């Protein structure tokens, strides 16, 4: 929490008195804080010396969305597209939780058994929603073969769907202030805290979990009542986020990370996971704001000593990114420092900025004077629509080498608890910023923005994984499928531009509230030194910006890779060009003779990962073989059979 990291005074001791008269929202956690504006960024930034080789850019993809179909086929799906992802420049793929969930359709955040990767008959099936253990192992191996390391989504905060309930003494706490205990005396409740894992029968780990391994729960089965119950003799960890007073408890049965048996089992699990998936590339730690910071630091140190030893970033070490949802980048920077810079965090503030500015831009007037039929209310120059503030107070400013930038993920997509809408016109702008800039951390591309989304649907789940073979599994209804952004062809070109040309010195032109740009001069060790110029606008007028791309590019003719903006730009003898952009759009300018340009222009991503086109072709082939459906006259034997049946029914009086 802020006190633990030295940002605010220590929170008062736990008390039985009524809760203080304020809520627990994150906006009230630390009102006095240091913010860094985007203007604190240097206008010129050189990530690697121009006379020494620079490594290829890293790019992450989130390999799922919340609404992926529960067809047990996802590991196969990902394995099949690994070569394409590698071609697009993907170096890391974050996969969904691969451990057995509370039921066969669960995404895995409702975790049941860490040691079941789709191997044991538990919770309705052997496989997880995503597939079986053997398919997961194949995915990791194929990824390593193509240079795409797999990041395992580790859910270590809680457990769900216990095998049996236990009597436990507990007290209710105030959900808005978890330090506030509502019951002066403990009450006996029935808690679902017993885990025998009958399908696994002690294989891999002998630990049977019980109430002593948890700090609290949110349901009393005796009274059929929901509340947050803290178990007698247990305390919330103090070094957690202070939202809601203390945010140790999140959901289900809350794990006690200080219990020696728990700590030993979780440390052992990382070693076991490496033994099962030897080429695994790292972890994504879910919900780390809800458990002890000290435990997380110990956990990371154990990985570095016993699981994947070596200096951070060296071959064989694990890349680790944590999900800490908080719009306070100074706080997150301190958290990273407390972890000795051993993990990265997602840039929450950047996504919030994208949402705020893009949605406000939807109501920007059509001209500086307010005329032209535009929506009233927001005038040119308003801070709400100022593109110069896009990077204000972002983690990319505070800790660029420990930031993972993104535009959308499974938690922020439509219908989810952290839904953070971004205006559709702004999506290419946002992705251009995280993919092409030099100091935007490791960018993470979202599954649905590449391959589309089903959204909230009521698709049936196969009765078993045996009924879910690729040949006969009923696919989700294509009518519910929403295509990826811009038809699926803009984002891949931005990813290819990052892989090939987004290198070298960066020059920023963040000098206008509604039209900004930046350039990368290129690096001799990547794609022959070709560079890139990016300019974007959120107003209703065409614009242009004069920008420097380097004297080494003098005389080159540049065109827009995205084809949003027609025409050509000739770089003058001093290395400058005037780069136009269409209204409410982005243009990514690259030399028409740049190495790899022909392949980028011709590239088209196959977004049909669910086999809709193949299924349609099979249906059409079947119909063509059948011929036209016509009403045929019944044969003589059919007429006779029908007559005999009618006589029998008349004789017996049957209906």
Question: Which residues are known to be catalytic?
Answer: 286, 323
**Structure token pair of residue 210:** 């019980």
Residue 314 lies in a domain: yes
Q: Taking the CB of residue 30, how many other CB atoms lie within 10 A of it?
A: 17
User: CA Rg, the chain, in Å?
Assistant: 28
Q: Taking the CB of residue 535, how many other CB atoms lie within 10 A of it?
A: 26
Compute CA 140 distance to the chain's CA centroid, rounded to the nearest angstrom: 18
Query: Comparing C-alpha atoms, which of 278, 342, 283 is closest to residue 316?
Result: 278
Does one domain contain both 231 and 276?
A: no
Is residue 391 over pLDDT 80? yes
Q: What is the mean pLDDT of residues 338-349?
A: 97
- Give residue 35's pLDDT: 86
Residue 541 lies in a domain: yes
Does one domain contain both 362 and 452?
A: yes
Q: Residues of 91-104 as b/e, b for ≥16 C-beta within 10 angstroms?
A: bbbbbbbbbbbbbb
Give residue 455's pLDDT band: very low, low, confident or very high (50, 70, 90): confident
Q: Do residues 89 and 147 lie in contact, with contact meaning Cβ atoms separated by under 8 Å?
A: no
**Structure token pair of residue 292:** 């002890």
Does one domain contain both 302 and 271?
A: yes
CATH number at residue 196: 2.40.30.140
Does one domain contain both 98 and 213?
A: no
DSSP 9: P
Give the pLDDT confidence of 309-330 residue by residue, as tens digits.
887 777 789 999 999 999 999 9
Q: Greater confidence, 8 or 581?
A: 581
- Give residue 99's pLDDT: 98
What is the greatest pairwise CA distance in the chain?
104
For 121, phi then psi, to 5°, come to -75, 95
Does one domain contain both 247 and 333?
A: no
Domain stops at, among 256, 276, 308? 256
Give the CA distances from residue 28 to residues 326, 327, 510, in Å, rounded to whole numbers and listed in that order: 12, 12, 31
Residue 626 lies in a domain: no
Residue 653 lies in a domain: no
Does one domain contain both 476 and 586?
A: no
CATH number at residue 302: 3.20.20.80
Phi-psi category of 303—alpha, beta or left, where left has phi over 0 and alpha has psi -120 to 50? alpha
CATH number at residue 574: 2.60.40.1180
Per the structure, the count of domains in the chain is 3
Residue with tokens 């178990």: 231
- Give residue 625's pLDDT: 52
Does one domain contain both 243 and 269?
A: no
- Give residue 396's pLDDT: 96
Residue with tokens 């119950």: 229
Helix boundaries (H) for 290-425: 293-302, 329-338, 348-361, 395-398
- Give residue 373's pLDDT: 45
Residue 572 lies in a domain: yes
Residue 310 lies in a domain: yes
Residue 11 lies in a domain: no
Does one domain contain both 517 and 486?
A: no
- The rounded distance, in Å, linking the Cα atoms of 364 and 100 is 48
Is residue 7 over pLDDT 70? no
Is residue 357 over pLDDT 80? yes
Domain stops at, among 256, 281, 303? 256
Give the pLDDT confidence of 490-528 residue by residue, as tens digits.
999 999 999 999 999 999 999 999 999 999 999 999 999
Does one domain contain both 471 and 588?
A: no
Query: Comparing C-alpha atoms, which of 151, 157, 443, 437 is closest to residue 321?
Result: 151
Contacts of 86 (CB under 8 A, 6+ apart): 146, 147, 148
- Give residue 363's pLDDT: 85
Concatenated DSSP letters for 515-580? EEEEEE---TTSGGG--EEEEEE-SSS-EEEEEE--GGGTT-EEEETTSSS-S-EE--TTSEEEEE
Does one domain contain both 463 and 506?
A: no
The pTM of this model reads 0.88
Give the pLDDT confidence of 263-282 residue by residue, as tens digits.
999 999 999 999 999 999 99
C-alpha torsion 255→260→261→267, nearest 10: 80
- The rounded distance, in Å, linking the Cα atoms of 487 and 298 is 45
- The rounded distance, in Å, linking the Cα atoms of 146 and 19 is 55
- The rounded distance, in Å, linking the Cα atoms of 164 and 113 is 14
Q: What is the mean pLDDT of residues 197-222?
A: 98
Q: Of the ranges 26-35, 327-336, 476-485, which is most confident?
A: 327-336
- Window from 17-26, 220-229, 246-255 with minimum mean pLDDT: 17-26
Contacts of 627 (CB under 8 A, 6+ apart): none
Q: What are all long-range contacts of 140-145, with beta carbons under 8 Å and residues at least 24 apart?
A: 140/277, 140/279, 140/280, 141/279, 142/79, 142/82, 143/82, 143/93, 143/279, 143/281, 144/279, 144/281
- Window from 23-32, 137-146, 227-236, 281-290 with minimum mean pLDDT: 23-32
Q: What angle do CA 544, 547, 553 make, to 5 degrees?
A: 120
Q: Of the ranges 543-557, 607-621, 627-641, which is most confident?
A: 543-557
Domain stops at, among 256, 278, 305? 256
Q: Taking the CB of residue 562, how many other CB atoms lie within 10 A of it?
A: 21
Does one domain contain both 168 and 230?
A: yes
Does one domain contain both 354 and 474?
A: yes
Range of the domain at 551: 501-602
Give the CA distances from residue 110 to residues 193, 209, 487, in Å, rounded to whole numbers and listed in that order: 14, 16, 33
Strand 92-94 and strand 177-181: the pairing is unpaired
Residue 79 lies in a domain: yes
- Helical (H) or strand (E) element with 644: helix 636-652
Q: Do residues 579 and 586 lie in contact, with contact meaning Cβ atoms separated by under 8 Å?
A: no
């Amino acid at each position: 929490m802020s006190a633990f990291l030295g940002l605010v005074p220590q929170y008062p001791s736990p008390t039985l008195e009524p809760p203080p008269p304020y809520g627990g929202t994150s906006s009230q956690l630390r009102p006095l804080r240091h913010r860094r504006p985007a203007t604190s960024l240097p206008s010129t930034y050189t990530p690697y010396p121009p006379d020494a080789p620079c490594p290829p850019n890293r790019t992450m993809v989130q390999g799922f969305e919340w609404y992926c179909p529960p067809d047990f086929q996802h590991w196969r799906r990902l394995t099949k597209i690994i070569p394409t992802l590698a071609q697009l420049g993907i170096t890391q793929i974050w996969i969904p939780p691969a451990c057995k969930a509370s039921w066969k359709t669960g995404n895995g955040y409702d975790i049941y058994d860490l040691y079941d990767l789709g191997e044991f008959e538990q919770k309705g099936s052997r496989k997880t929603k995503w597939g079986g253990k053997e398919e997961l192992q194949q995915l990791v191996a194929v990824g390593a073969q193509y240079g795409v390391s797999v990041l395992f989504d580790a859910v270590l905060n809680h457990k769900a769907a216990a095998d049996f309930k236990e009597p436990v003494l507990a007290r209710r706490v105030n959900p808005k202030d978890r330090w506030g205990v509502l019951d002066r005396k403990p009450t006996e409740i029935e808690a679902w805290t017993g885990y025998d894992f009958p399908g696994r029968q002690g294989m891999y780990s002998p630990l049977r979990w019980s109430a002593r391994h948890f700090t609290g729960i949110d349901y009393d089965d005796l009274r059929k009542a929901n509340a947050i119950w803290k178990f007698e003799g247990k305390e919330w960890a103090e070094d957690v986020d202070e939202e809601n007073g203390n945010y140790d408890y999140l959901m289900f049965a809350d794990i006690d990370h200080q219990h020696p048996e728990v700590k030993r089992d979780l440390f052992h699990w990382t070693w076991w996971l490496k033994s099962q998936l030897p080429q695994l590339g790292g972890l994504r730690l879910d919900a780390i704001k809800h458990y002890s910071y000290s435990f997380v630091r110990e956990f990371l140190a154990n990985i570095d000593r016993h699981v994947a030893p070596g200096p951070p970033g060296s071959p064989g070490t694990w890349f680790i990114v944590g999900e800490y949802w908080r719009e306070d980048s100074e706080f997150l920077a301190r958290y990273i420092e407390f972890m000795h810079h051993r993990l990265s965090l997602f840039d929450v503030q950047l996504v919030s900025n994208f949402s705020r500015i893009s949605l406000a831009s939807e109501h920007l007037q059509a001209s500086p004077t307010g005329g032209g039929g535009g929506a009233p209310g927001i005038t040119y120059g308003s801070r709400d629509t100022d593109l110069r503030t896009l990077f204000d107070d972002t983690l990319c400013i505070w800790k660029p080498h420990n930031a993972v930038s993104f535009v959308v993920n499974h938690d922020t997509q439509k219908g989810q608890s952290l839904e953070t809408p971004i205006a559709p016109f702004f999506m290419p702008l946002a992705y251009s910023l995280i993919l092409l800039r030099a100091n935007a951390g490791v960018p993470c591309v979202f599954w649905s923005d590449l391959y589309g989304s089903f959204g909230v649907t009521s698709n049936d789940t196969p009765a078993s994984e045996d009924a879910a073979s690729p040949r006969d599994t009923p696919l989700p209804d294509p009518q519910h499928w929403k295509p990826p952004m811009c038809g699926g062809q803009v984002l891949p070109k931005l990813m290819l531009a990052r892989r090939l040309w987004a290198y070298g010195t960066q020059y920023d032109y963040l000098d206008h509230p509604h039209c900004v740009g930046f350039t990368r001069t290129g690096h001799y060790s990547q794609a022959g030194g070709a560079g890139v110029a990016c300019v974007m606008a959120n107003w209703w007028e065409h614009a242009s910006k004069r920008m420097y791309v380097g004297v080494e590019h003098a005389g080159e003719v540049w065109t827009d890779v995205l084809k949003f903006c027609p025409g050509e730009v000739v770089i003058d003898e001093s290395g400058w060009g005037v780069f136009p952009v269409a209204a409410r759009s982005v243009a990514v300018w690259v030399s028409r003779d740049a190495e790899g340009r022909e392949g980028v222009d011709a590239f088209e991503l196959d977004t049909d990962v669910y086999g809709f086109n193949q299924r349609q072709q099979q249906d059409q082939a079947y119909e063509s073989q059948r011929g036209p459906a016509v009403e045929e006259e019944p044969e003589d034997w059919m007429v006779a059979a029908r007559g005999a049946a009618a006589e029998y029914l008349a004789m017996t009086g049957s209906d």
